[in-house]
Amino acid sequence: MPDAEVTARFLGTSSVLLRDEDTALLVDGFVTRPGLLRVALGKIAPDPRSVRGAMERLGTPPIAAVICAHSHYDHALDAPVWAALTRAELVGSESTANIGRGLGVPSERLRVVGDGDVTAFGAFEVTFVETVHSPDDRYPGVVDRPLVPPARSRAWRTGKVYSIFVTHPRGTVLVHASANFRSGALRGRTADVVYLGIGTVGKQPSEFIETYWDEVVRATGARRVVLIHWDDFFVGLDRPLRPLPRLADDLDRTMSHILPMAARDGVEVALPVAWQQTDPFSR
């Protein structure tokens, strides 16, 4: 089915929905987006109403798997709710599984994956490559027991971090949510499109940014890059996306490095719009 339609929708942060006629895969699915004061000073929990609203806005897609790139709250907070509402598998590290257990996801719908594991959902094949979190990880470690919210944001610890290759007869998408790399880990693997996490890249040295591009984009031969994890995830999805404040990141500086490298390598760069349906493989 090489001509089957594949669509993508960006839901802010690093959340991406990929689907064809029969199957949908959701990466992260973080839509509750609690405010900064609550995250810093209080306790947080997923908001099922926000998840239901997002699901309806997406047209109730046939989600077979909710896949967490890692287990921080801005990736995994809402994932168990999506899994519960859609009867999808919750896929990720043992830390992600413990987040699912804390909200009652049945064990038969928890799939723990490791470096190099390959799983299939409909016409999609998903390969997991272990990588590392972006520099200055605020919540390192693992979630070693079922996490029952509400809890402090630091309870959602990193766990393992994955680069996620999603292959379909139409092509291959790489969702690389964390702005860092494990040297050489992606060499020998190919992708047509990279959903590239750029959170805090604007605060990194120029050499780091250039090496990051080489290790993820050039290494996989991608011809299109869609930038993710650049938006202020303390602001709800009912408002237009905006960059993180300069104190946390510098999107202008990030773009001043990425765009010349993309032009040199013949790579198209896109800044996605929340909820907008696109064809990731269109030419």
CA nearest neighbour of 200 among 257, 134, 255:
134
Give residue 178's domain range. 7-276
Q: How many domains, the chain?
A: 1
Contact by Cβ (8 Å): 163, 129 = yes
Helix, strand, or coil (residue 124) = strand
Place of tokens 């591009």: 213
CA nearest neighbour of 124 among 86, 71, 171:
171
Q: Is residue 52, in this structure, part of any structural domain at all?
A: yes
Predicted TM-score (pTM) of this structure = 0.97
Q: Is residue 102, in this structure, part of any structural domain at all?
A: yes
Contact by Cβ (8 Å): 254, 230 = yes
Q: Is residue 166, in this structure, part of any structural domain at all?
A: yes
Q: Is residue 88, in this structure, part of any structural domain at all?
A: yes
pLDDT digits (tens, 9 = 90+) for 26-37: 999 999 999 999
Contact by Cβ (8 Å): 84, 45 = no
Going by pLDDT thresholds of 50, 70 and 90, the confidence category of residue 1 is: very low
**Integer-rounded Cα radius of gyration of the chain:** 17
In sign, the C-alpha dihedral spanning 112, 114, 119, 125 is: positive
Q: Is residue 2, in this structure, part of any structural domain at all?
A: no
Q: Is residue 11, in this structure, part of any structural domain at all?
A: yes
Going by pLDDT thresholds of 50, 70 and 90, the confidence category of residue 4 is: confident
- Average pLDDT estimate for 185-200: 98
- Average pLDDT estimate for 63-85: 98
